[in-house]
Copies of this chain bind each other. A is one copy, B any other.
Amino acid sequence: MVEQGRSTATITRVAEAAGVSRATVSRVMNGHSTVAPELAERVLAAARALDYAPSPVARSLALGRTATIALIVPDLSNPMFQDVLRGLSLAAGADGHRLLIAESNEHVEDEEVLAIEARRRCDGVVLASPRLPTADLERLVPQLTPLVLINRKLPGSGVPSLSVDHAAGIGDLVAHLLSLGHRRIAYLAGPPASTSNRDRLDALLRLSDHGREFELIQVPCGAMFDNGHDVAGEVAGSGATAVVAYNDMVAFGALSGLHELGVSVPGQISITGFDDIPFARFTTPPLTTAAVPKNTLGKQAWEQLRNQLDGRRTKHEADFRPRLLVRGSTGRVSS
Protein backbone atom coordinates (compact mmCIF):
# COMPACT_ATOMS: atom_id res chain seq x y z
CA MET A 1 0.00 0.00 0.00
CA VAL A 2 1.23 3.41 -0.87
CA GLU A 3 1.19 6.37 1.46
CA GLN A 4 -2.09 8.08 0.70
CA GLY A 5 -1.25 11.48 2.07
CA ARG A 6 -1.18 12.07 5.78
CA SER A 7 -4.16 10.63 7.58
CA THR A 8 -6.71 13.38 7.61
CA ALA A 9 -8.47 14.58 10.69
CA THR A 10 -12.24 14.33 10.86
CA ILE A 11 -14.78 16.61 12.40
CA THR A 12 -15.25 14.10 15.21
CA ARG A 13 -11.61 14.25 16.23
CA VAL A 14 -11.68 18.00 16.26
CA ALA A 15 -14.85 17.97 18.33
CA GLU A 16 -13.25 15.64 20.83
CA ALA A 17 -10.08 17.65 21.00
CA ALA A 18 -12.00 20.85 21.56
CA GLY A 19 -14.47 19.23 23.92
CA VAL A 20 -17.52 20.29 21.93
CA SER A 21 -20.07 18.63 19.69
CA ARG A 22 -19.53 18.06 16.01
CA ALA A 23 -22.34 20.48 15.28
CA THR A 24 -20.39 23.21 16.94
CA VAL A 25 -17.29 22.43 14.94
CA SER A 26 -19.38 22.46 11.79
CA ARG A 27 -20.80 25.84 12.73
CA VAL A 28 -17.41 27.30 13.40
CA MET A 29 -15.93 25.96 10.19
CA ASN A 30 -18.77 27.45 8.21
CA GLY A 31 -18.92 30.72 10.07
CA HIS A 32 -22.50 29.99 11.04
CA SER A 33 -24.70 31.50 13.73
CA THR A 34 -22.89 32.92 16.66
CA VAL A 35 -20.76 30.50 18.51
CA ALA A 36 -19.35 31.88 21.73
CA PRO A 37 -16.01 33.46 20.88
CA GLU A 38 -14.05 31.44 23.38
CA LEU A 39 -15.56 28.20 22.10
CA ALA A 40 -14.91 29.19 18.55
CA GLU A 41 -11.33 29.92 19.43
CA ARG A 42 -10.94 26.53 21.06
CA VAL A 43 -12.37 24.84 17.99
CA LEU A 44 -10.13 26.72 15.63
CA ALA A 45 -7.12 25.92 17.74
CA ALA A 46 -7.97 22.24 17.72
CA ALA A 47 -8.58 22.34 13.98
CA ARG A 48 -5.22 24.00 13.43
CA ALA A 49 -3.45 21.57 15.68
CA LEU A 50 -4.92 18.59 13.86
CA ASP A 51 -4.47 20.23 10.50
CA TYR A 52 -8.14 19.73 9.90
CA ALA A 53 -10.10 20.73 6.86
CA PRO A 54 -13.65 19.56 6.16
CA SER A 55 -14.01 16.77 3.66
CA PRO A 56 -15.44 18.11 0.42
CA VAL A 57 -16.92 14.74 -0.41
CA ALA A 58 -18.79 14.45 2.86
CA ARG A 59 -19.97 18.01 2.55
CA SER A 60 -21.17 17.33 -0.95
CA LEU A 61 -23.23 14.41 0.20
CA ALA A 62 -24.71 16.26 3.14
CA LEU A 63 -25.42 19.44 1.24
CA GLY A 64 -26.48 17.94 -2.03
CA ARG A 65 -24.10 20.13 -3.92
CA THR A 66 -20.50 19.75 -4.92
CA ALA A 67 -19.27 23.23 -5.81
CA THR A 68 -18.15 21.69 -9.05
CA ILE A 69 -19.34 22.10 -12.59
CA ALA A 70 -18.58 20.14 -15.70
CA LEU A 71 -17.52 21.22 -19.13
CA ILE A 72 -18.24 18.76 -21.87
CA VAL A 73 -16.52 19.18 -25.18
CA PRO A 74 -16.00 16.98 -28.19
CA ASP A 75 -12.36 17.79 -28.60
CA LEU A 76 -9.92 19.53 -26.35
CA SER A 77 -7.43 20.07 -29.10
CA ASN A 78 -9.73 22.58 -30.71
CA PRO A 79 -8.50 26.06 -29.74
CA MET A 80 -12.06 27.27 -29.73
CA PHE A 81 -12.88 25.01 -26.82
CA GLN A 82 -9.60 25.67 -25.14
CA ASP A 83 -10.50 29.30 -24.78
CA VAL A 84 -13.97 28.52 -23.55
CA LEU A 85 -12.38 26.15 -21.07
CA ARG A 86 -10.04 28.81 -19.91
CA GLY A 87 -12.67 31.50 -19.48
CA LEU A 88 -14.94 29.09 -17.69
CA SER A 89 -12.22 27.79 -15.43
CA LEU A 90 -11.21 31.25 -14.35
CA ALA A 91 -14.71 32.55 -13.80
CA ALA A 92 -15.96 29.52 -11.93
CA GLY A 93 -12.75 29.31 -9.95
CA ALA A 94 -13.11 32.90 -8.85
CA ASP A 95 -16.48 31.94 -7.39
CA GLY A 96 -15.07 28.95 -5.57
CA HIS A 97 -16.20 26.30 -7.99
CA ARG A 98 -14.11 23.53 -9.44
CA LEU A 99 -14.19 22.41 -13.01
CA LEU A 100 -14.54 18.86 -14.17
CA ILE A 101 -13.75 18.34 -17.76
CA ALA A 102 -15.08 15.61 -19.95
CA GLU A 103 -14.00 15.08 -23.50
CA SER A 104 -16.01 12.90 -25.81
CA ASN A 105 -13.12 12.67 -28.21
CA GLU A 106 -15.58 13.19 -31.03
CA HIS A 107 -17.50 10.02 -30.20
CA VAL A 108 -20.98 11.42 -30.38
CA GLU A 109 -22.42 8.12 -29.29
CA ASP A 110 -20.64 8.29 -25.94
CA GLU A 111 -21.51 11.88 -25.37
CA GLU A 112 -24.86 11.26 -23.72
CA VAL A 113 -23.68 8.89 -21.06
CA LEU A 114 -20.57 10.99 -20.55
CA ALA A 115 -22.69 14.04 -19.93
CA ILE A 116 -25.09 12.29 -17.60
CA GLU A 117 -22.32 10.72 -15.64
CA ALA A 118 -20.50 14.01 -15.35
CA ARG A 119 -23.61 15.80 -14.26
CA ARG A 120 -24.09 13.45 -11.35
CA ARG A 121 -20.77 14.50 -9.88
CA CYS A 122 -21.53 18.14 -10.35
CA ASP A 123 -23.99 20.91 -9.79
CA GLY A 124 -24.34 21.84 -13.43
CA VAL A 125 -23.06 21.39 -16.92
CA VAL A 126 -21.73 23.51 -19.73
CA LEU A 127 -22.21 21.56 -22.88
CA ALA A 128 -20.53 22.17 -26.18
CA SER A 129 -21.82 19.42 -28.36
CA PRO A 130 -22.03 20.57 -31.95
CA ARG A 131 -22.86 17.20 -33.43
CA LEU A 132 -25.36 15.70 -31.03
CA PRO A 133 -28.74 15.40 -32.77
CA THR A 134 -31.33 17.83 -31.50
CA ALA A 135 -33.78 15.14 -30.50
CA ASP A 136 -31.20 13.42 -28.32
CA LEU A 137 -30.22 16.70 -26.80
CA GLU A 138 -33.80 17.53 -25.95
CA ARG A 139 -34.26 14.24 -24.23
CA LEU A 140 -31.10 14.88 -22.28
CA VAL A 141 -31.97 18.30 -20.96
CA PRO A 142 -33.89 17.27 -17.81
CA GLN A 143 -31.02 15.14 -16.60
CA LEU A 144 -28.42 17.81 -17.22
CA THR A 145 -30.16 20.85 -15.85
CA PRO A 146 -28.79 23.25 -14.68
CA LEU A 147 -27.37 23.45 -18.13
CA VAL A 148 -25.81 25.98 -20.45
CA LEU A 149 -25.34 25.36 -24.12
CA ILE A 150 -22.46 26.66 -26.16
CA ASN A 151 -22.84 27.28 -29.86
CA ARG A 152 -26.09 25.50 -29.96
CA LYS A 153 -29.66 26.58 -29.49
CA LEU A 154 -32.64 24.68 -28.21
CA PRO A 155 -35.52 27.02 -28.84
CA GLY A 156 -38.40 26.79 -26.44
CA SER A 157 -36.47 24.61 -24.03
CA GLY A 158 -35.59 27.43 -21.71
CA VAL A 159 -31.98 26.30 -21.72
CA PRO A 160 -29.62 29.27 -21.81
CA SER A 161 -27.47 29.21 -24.84
CA LEU A 162 -24.47 31.22 -25.87
CA SER A 163 -23.67 31.29 -29.50
CA VAL A 164 -21.43 32.93 -31.95
CA ASP A 165 -23.37 34.67 -34.65
CA HIS A 166 -21.69 32.85 -37.48
CA ALA A 167 -23.93 34.34 -40.12
CA ALA A 168 -22.99 37.86 -39.10
CA GLY A 169 -19.32 36.99 -39.11
CA ILE A 170 -19.53 35.42 -42.52
CA GLY A 171 -21.53 38.40 -43.69
CA ASP A 172 -18.77 40.78 -42.67
CA LEU A 173 -16.08 38.67 -44.26
CA VAL A 174 -17.96 38.34 -47.52
CA ALA A 175 -18.81 42.02 -47.64
CA HIS A 176 -15.14 42.72 -47.18
CA LEU A 177 -14.19 40.36 -49.99
CA LEU A 178 -16.86 41.73 -52.31
CA SER A 179 -15.64 45.23 -51.67
CA LEU A 180 -12.24 44.10 -52.85
CA GLY A 181 -13.77 42.88 -56.07
CA HIS A 182 -13.85 39.15 -55.46
CA ARG A 183 -16.63 37.27 -57.24
CA ARG A 184 -15.37 33.70 -57.13
CA ILE A 185 -15.08 32.55 -53.53
CA ALA A 186 -14.11 29.10 -52.32
CA TYR A 187 -15.40 27.86 -48.97
CA LEU A 188 -13.14 25.40 -47.19
CA ALA A 189 -15.84 23.53 -45.36
CA GLY A 190 -15.51 22.24 -41.83
CA PRO A 191 -16.78 18.90 -40.55
CA PRO A 192 -20.17 18.28 -42.17
CA ALA A 193 -21.84 17.32 -38.91
CA SER A 194 -20.74 20.46 -37.14
CA THR A 195 -23.52 22.96 -36.66
CA SER A 196 -21.13 25.86 -36.85
CA ASN A 197 -20.03 24.65 -40.25
CA ARG A 198 -23.61 24.43 -41.35
CA ASP A 199 -24.31 27.92 -40.06
CA ARG A 200 -21.39 29.32 -41.94
CA LEU A 201 -22.23 27.47 -45.12
CA ASP A 202 -25.88 28.50 -44.95
CA ALA A 203 -24.85 32.10 -44.59
CA LEU A 204 -22.60 31.82 -47.61
CA LEU A 205 -25.29 30.21 -49.72
CA ARG A 206 -27.72 32.91 -48.76
CA LEU A 207 -25.25 35.65 -49.53
CA SER A 208 -24.25 34.11 -52.81
CA ASP A 209 -27.90 34.10 -53.84
CA HIS A 210 -27.46 31.32 -56.37
CA GLY A 211 -24.38 32.88 -57.80
CA ARG A 212 -25.98 36.23 -58.42
CA GLU A 213 -23.77 38.02 -55.90
CA PHE A 214 -20.74 35.81 -56.26
CA GLU A 215 -19.89 32.30 -57.26
CA LEU A 216 -19.47 29.93 -54.35
CA ILE A 217 -17.13 26.98 -54.72
CA GLN A 218 -17.47 24.43 -51.96
CA VAL A 219 -14.35 22.53 -51.03
CA PRO A 220 -14.75 19.74 -48.45
CA CYS A 221 -11.99 20.24 -45.97
CA GLY A 222 -12.03 19.84 -42.19
CA ALA A 223 -11.17 21.68 -39.03
CA MET A 224 -7.43 21.29 -38.66
CA PHE A 225 -4.20 22.63 -40.08
CA ASP A 226 -3.57 19.59 -42.19
CA ASN A 227 -6.95 19.71 -43.84
CA GLY A 228 -6.37 23.24 -45.02
CA HIS A 229 -2.89 22.40 -46.11
CA ASP A 230 -4.04 19.44 -48.13
CA VAL A 231 -6.61 21.28 -50.20
CA ALA A 232 -4.27 24.07 -51.25
CA GLY A 233 -3.80 22.52 -54.66
CA GLU A 234 -7.50 22.16 -55.22
CA VAL A 235 -8.02 25.74 -54.21
CA ALA A 236 -5.32 26.99 -56.52
CA GLY A 237 -6.88 25.12 -59.41
CA SER A 238 -10.42 26.18 -58.68
CA GLY A 239 -10.23 29.58 -60.17
CA ALA A 240 -11.32 31.16 -56.91
CA THR A 241 -9.81 34.55 -56.18
CA ALA A 242 -10.68 34.38 -52.51
CA VAL A 243 -11.01 31.70 -49.86
CA VAL A 244 -13.26 31.70 -46.86
CA ALA A 245 -11.92 29.06 -44.53
CA TYR A 246 -13.98 27.25 -41.93
CA ASN A 247 -11.65 28.53 -39.24
CA ASP A 248 -8.24 30.02 -38.61
CA MET A 249 -6.45 26.72 -38.44
CA VAL A 250 -7.73 25.67 -41.81
CA ALA A 251 -6.92 29.09 -43.20
CA PHE A 252 -3.43 28.83 -41.84
CA GLY A 253 -2.96 25.40 -43.33
CA ALA A 254 -4.16 26.65 -46.67
CA LEU A 255 -1.89 29.66 -46.43
CA SER A 256 1.02 27.38 -45.84
CA GLY A 257 0.04 25.05 -48.67
CA LEU A 258 -0.43 27.86 -51.15
CA HIS A 259 2.89 29.32 -50.19
CA GLU A 260 4.55 26.01 -50.94
CA LEU A 261 2.86 25.97 -54.31
CA GLY A 262 4.19 29.41 -55.04
CA VAL A 263 0.78 31.02 -54.99
CA SER A 264 1.00 34.47 -53.48
CA VAL A 265 -1.41 35.61 -50.79
CA PRO A 266 -3.07 38.01 -51.12
CA GLY A 267 -1.51 38.73 -54.53
CA GLN A 268 -3.20 35.89 -56.34
CA ILE A 269 -5.62 34.62 -53.74
CA SER A 270 -7.08 36.22 -50.65
CA ILE A 271 -7.79 34.16 -47.55
CA THR A 272 -9.97 34.69 -44.52
CA GLY A 273 -10.17 32.70 -41.33
CA PHE A 274 -12.65 32.57 -38.49
CA ASP A 275 -12.15 32.74 -34.69
CA ASP A 276 -9.02 34.87 -34.34
CA ILE A 277 -7.03 32.33 -32.41
CA PRO A 278 -3.89 33.71 -30.78
CA PHE A 279 -1.45 33.34 -33.62
CA ALA A 280 -3.76 34.59 -36.37
CA ARG A 281 -2.10 37.98 -36.39
CA PHE A 282 1.34 36.44 -36.69
CA THR A 283 0.94 34.41 -39.83
CA THR A 284 2.60 35.54 -43.03
CA PRO A 285 0.67 37.45 -44.13
CA PRO A 286 -1.41 38.07 -41.02
CA LEU A 287 -4.85 36.58 -41.26
CA THR A 288 -7.98 38.54 -41.97
CA THR A 289 -10.58 36.92 -39.78
CA ALA A 290 -13.73 37.25 -37.72
CA ALA A 291 -12.81 37.44 -34.05
CA VAL A 292 -15.11 35.59 -31.71
CA PRO A 293 -14.96 36.52 -28.04
CA LYS A 294 -14.12 33.09 -26.76
CA ASN A 295 -13.08 34.04 -23.28
CA THR A 296 -16.28 35.97 -22.95
CA LEU A 297 -18.15 32.86 -23.95
CA GLY A 298 -16.63 30.88 -21.11
CA LYS A 299 -17.15 33.66 -18.64
CA GLN A 300 -20.74 34.20 -19.64
CA ALA A 301 -21.38 30.49 -19.46
CA TRP A 302 -20.41 30.60 -15.82
CA GLU A 303 -22.67 33.59 -15.20
CA GLN A 304 -25.58 31.76 -16.71
CA LEU A 305 -24.86 28.63 -14.78
CA ARG A 306 -24.42 30.48 -11.53
CA ASN A 307 -27.73 32.19 -12.03
CA GLN A 308 -29.42 28.86 -12.32
CA LEU A 309 -27.56 27.45 -9.33
CA ASP A 310 -28.75 30.41 -7.33
CA GLY A 311 -32.28 29.71 -8.43
CA ARG A 312 -32.44 32.86 -10.48
CA ARG A 313 -33.96 32.89 -13.89
CA THR A 314 -31.75 34.29 -16.55
CA LYS A 315 -31.84 35.63 -20.02
CA HIS A 316 -31.90 32.75 -22.39
CA GLU A 317 -30.02 33.30 -25.54
CA ALA A 318 -27.09 35.46 -26.38
CA ASP A 319 -25.47 35.83 -29.74
CA PHE A 320 -21.99 37.11 -29.88
CA ARG A 321 -21.27 38.98 -33.02
CA PRO A 322 -17.75 38.40 -34.25
CA ARG A 323 -15.60 41.39 -35.03
CA LEU A 324 -14.12 41.70 -38.49
CA LEU A 325 -10.36 42.03 -38.38
CA VAL A 326 -8.90 43.07 -41.68
CA ARG A 327 -5.27 42.10 -41.92
CA GLY A 328 -2.81 41.23 -44.63
CA SER A 329 -4.24 38.03 -46.07
CA THR A 330 -6.92 39.77 -48.10
CA GLY A 331 -6.40 42.20 -50.93
CA ARG A 332 -7.95 43.60 -54.04
CA VAL A 333 -8.71 41.01 -56.66
CA SER A 334 -6.04 40.68 -59.30
CA SER A 335 -7.69 41.21 -62.64
Contact present for B68 and A100 (CB under 8 Å)? yes
> A90 is contacted by which of B4, B56, B103, B284 (Cβ under 8 Å)?
B103
Contact present for B60 and A57 (CB under 8 Å)? yes
A55-B120, A61-B57, A85-B76 known; A142+B98 contact, CB < 8 A: no
A253 on the interface (CB 8 Å rule)? yes
The CA of A17 and the CA of B77, in the complex, are separated in Å by 45
Interface pick from A33-41, A143-151, A199-207? A143-151
A259 on the interface (CB 8 Å rule)? yes
Contact present for B5 and A143 (CB under 8 Å)? yes
Closest to A328 in B: B260
Interface centre among A1, A55, A60 (most CB of B within 10 A): A60
> A256 is contacted by which of B102, B252, B259, B283 (Cβ under 8 Å)?
B283
Closest to A284 in B: B284
The CA of A332 and the CA of B55, in the complex, are separated in Å by 61
With both chains docked as a complex, state the minimum distance between the C-beta of A42 and any C-beta of chain B, in angstroms: 24
Contact present for B99 and A101 (CB under 8 Å)? yes
Contact present for B256 and A284 (CB under 8 Å)? yes
The CA of A252 and the CA of B98, in the complex, are separated in Å by 34
Closest to A67 in B: B121
A105 on the interface (CB 8 Å rule)? yes
Q: Which residues of B contact A286 (CB under 8 A)?
A: 256
Q: Which residues of B contact A312 (CB under 8 A)?
A: 2
Q: Which residues of B contact A320 (CB under 8 A)?
A: none
Interface residues of A in 116-131 (CB under 8 A from B): 116-121
The quantity of this chain's copies bound in the complex is 2
Contact present for B2 and A308 (CB under 8 Å)? yes
The CA of A278 and the CA of B225, in the complex, are separated in Å by 8
Per-residue interface assignment for chain A, residues 101 to 117, with 1 indicating a CB less than 8 Å from any chain B CB and 0 otherwise: 11101000000000011
A2-B313, A6-B143, A225-B282 known; A93+B89 contact, CB < 8 A: no
Contact present for A229 and B103 (CB under 8 Å)? no
Q: Which residues of B contact A142 (CB under 8 A)?
A: 3, 5-6
> A68 is contacted by which of B85, B121, B249, B279 (Cβ under 8 Å)?
B121
Closest to A54 in B: B120
Interface centre among A57, A83, A90, A279 (most CB of B within 10 A): A57
A175 on the interface (CB 8 Å rule)? no
Q: Which residues of B contact A256 (CB under 8 A)?
A: 281-284, 286
Interface residues of A in 218-234 (CB under 8 A from B): 224-225, 229
Q: Residues of A with Cβ closer than 8 Å to B? A: 1-6, 8, 53, 55-58, 60-61, 66, 68, 76-77, 82-83, 85-86, 89-90, 93, 98-103, 105, 116-121, 142-146, 224-225, 229, 249, 252-253, 255-256, 259, 278-279, 281-284, 286, 308, 311-313
* 7 residue pairs from A and B, CB less than 8 Å apart: A57-B120, A61-B61, A68-B121, A77-B82, A77-B86, A90-B103, A256-B284
